[in-house]
Structure 1
Amino acid sequence: MLGTGKTILIVDDEPLTRSGIHKTLETWSAGKYKILSTDNGAEALEIIRSQVINLLITDIRMPEITGLQLVESMQKRGQKPVVIVISGHADFHYAQSALQLGVVNYLVKPIQKRKLLEAVEGALQIEEEWERVETLERMADPQLLQAKLESQQYSEPVQQAVRYVEQHLQEPLGMREVAMHIHLNPSYFSALFKEQTGFTFSEYVTRSRLQRAKELLLQTRLPISDIAEQVGYQTPKYFIKLFKEYEGKSPSQFRKELKQEDDEI
């Protein structure tokens, strides 16, 4: 089931269309979502300033502020809800412009209820995925992320080592073992890895394991002991100790804070 507590805003200057969409979504929602509607872009912007909108459904052609201008105005304010645009015409130019603004669907009037609900459910799923990705980006280790972004510039042996680490985080990972895997002398490999990634091999493995652990804490309900095992630690105690050193909080506290953020959205 899709997440609850979200808000859908309908903007259309045609009373029958606006009312029809509103009633259809109210019935479908059965109280899971807050459904708002207005007949103009200016009022829509006032609503958007006062609360979070998760899904915007807007007519593309309206007086004063068009649907596309409304989307552009929201984006300039740093707000990026998922958007469905509706139109009385199958206009390729408008559809192309809408896609360039990141609009996820384009519906032509008269709108069938089935197509409307399919579009809304699909858009809300996309919005949840955007939220998940945004959360993952916020909790990313910036130094590790930078190293990964630069990985294409590494020599082939170091790239092989990085791939090997990613594929074997759950297993014991020693520098000597990985050096043998890529056919390099361990001492030479150690110096080469540090020079190119900026990390010692051991620190790179630790940061990679903790990053994977944070993803599991966000995306699953696995016990801390299971997460520790999945990222290569034999005992939860050592995993928790490392996690606290790097994150300044325990895995349980980290998960609790993420849950609180989700509840506030």
Structure 2
Amino acid sequence: MDASLQKKIVKQYYKARIENQKNEYLHPSYQLEQKLITAIKLGNEKEAISTLKEINKQKRAKLANNTLRSLKNSLIGSCTIFTRAAIQGGLHPESAYNLSDVLIQEIESMDDPAKLEEFEINMIYTFIRELKNEQLPKYTNIVMQTISYIHEHILHELSLEKIAKDLYIHPSYLSNIFKKETGTTVSNYINQKKIEESKYFLLHSELSISDISNLFRFCNQSYYTALFKKYTGVTPKDFRELNHQNES
């Protein structure tokens, strides 16, 4: 680190300590933070919300000179804690990070302090809901590696053979152990995951159904539509329209 920058940081650190002492400000206890993390990991909404409210009874740290910016920074910090807690609880890291990205963007778009305070609570509900929806059972390392590979390459062309090659596993062995532990084939899991992920783009983007089909590397829109209906009971078009109607 540049010496002048380090000196500046040290100076600001001691200045903050003096100001906090003068204002009788203390950060929330580490024990409370751990209690919150544990509650999220276990999917205990009531305990998590109760602990967050207990933490927020204390004055928030000053994280910027502008009050609104300071509050937003505080919520971004909370989002980071919630993200790590959800991952520890079993939410796939890529899913947790993607959710975190969306939530932070939402924080940045808000300017009402009261709504921001409320949104912090809603973030906990969101993470716990996703955690319960996608909590990974305890699989062997090979199966966990395969699932992680699929999550991380969901927008690429995926096949049993390609995954097996990249993970240095024989395709037949991977196919058998994956089916044995998960109850489904690698191919079926890939399709289910692609359909599930594509829902986000149907709901939160202006991309056409054809573009979404291409994004997820389906061979054509007709195949994507048929597969979507197989797993959800409705077509992508109907899914988008029904959800937009519910929002209005």
- Unaligned 5+ segments in structure 1 are 1-79, 81-97, 109-113
2:113 corresponds to which of 112, 119, 122: 119
- What is the CA distance between 1:121 and its match in structure 2? 3.7
The count of residues paired between Structure 1 and Structure 2 equals 153
**What are the equivalent positions in structure 2 for 1:1-265 lying under 5 Å apart?**
100=51, 102=53, 106=57, 118-123=112-117, 125-126=119-120, 133=126, 145=134, 148-150=135-137, 153-263=138-248
- What is the CA distance between 1:126 and its match in structure 2? 4.1
CA–CA distance in structure 2, aligned partners of residues 228 and 128 of structure 1: 31
Which SS does the other structure have where 1:183 is aligned? coil
User: What's the TM-score once normalised by structure 1's chain length?
Assistant: 0.49
Identity %: 27
CA deviations over 1:88-125 (Å, ceiling 9, x no partner): xxxxxxxxxx95264795599xxxxx779752141354
Instruction: Give the number of the structure whose residues are more often helix, by fraction.
Output: 2
User: One-letter code of the match for 1:155?
Assistant: T
Which SS does the other structure have where 1:149 is aligned? coil
User: One-letter code of the match for 1:154?
Assistant: Y
User: What's the TM-score once normalised by structure 2's chain length?
Assistant: 0.52
CA–CA distance in structure 1, aligned partners of residues 53 and 217 of structure 2: 39
Q: Cα 1:127–1:119, aligned 2, differ >3 Å: closer, same or farther?
A: same
- Unaligned 5+ segments in structure 2 are 1-44, 60-66, 72-110
- What is the CA distance between 1:260 and its match in structure 2? 2.3
CA–CA distance in structure 1, aligned partners of residues 122 and 211 of structure 2: 26
Q: Do 1:154 and 1:196's aligned partners in 2 also have CA atoms closer than 8 Å?
A: yes
Instruction: Give the number of the structure whose residues are more often strand, by fraction.
Output: 1
CA deviations over 1:124-149 (Å, ceiling 9, x no partner): 54477578x38x85xx9x6xx3xx52
Q: Considering only CA atoms, is the larger Rg found in Structure 1 or Structure 2? A: 1
Aligned to 2:5: none
Aligned to 2:11: none
Aligned to 1:40: none
Q: Do 1:209 and 1:232's aligned partners in 2 also have CA atoms closer than 8 Å?
A: no
- What is the CA distance between 1:186 and its match in structure 2? 1.1
Q: Do 1:243 and 1:250's aligned partners in 2 also have CA atoms closer than 8 Å?
A: yes
Q: Do 1:161 and 1:178's aligned partners in 2 also have CA atoms closer than 8 Å?
A: yes
Q: Do 1:210 and 1:243's aligned partners in 2 also have CA atoms closer than 8 Å?
A: yes
- What is the CA distance between 1:219 and its match in structure 2? 2.3
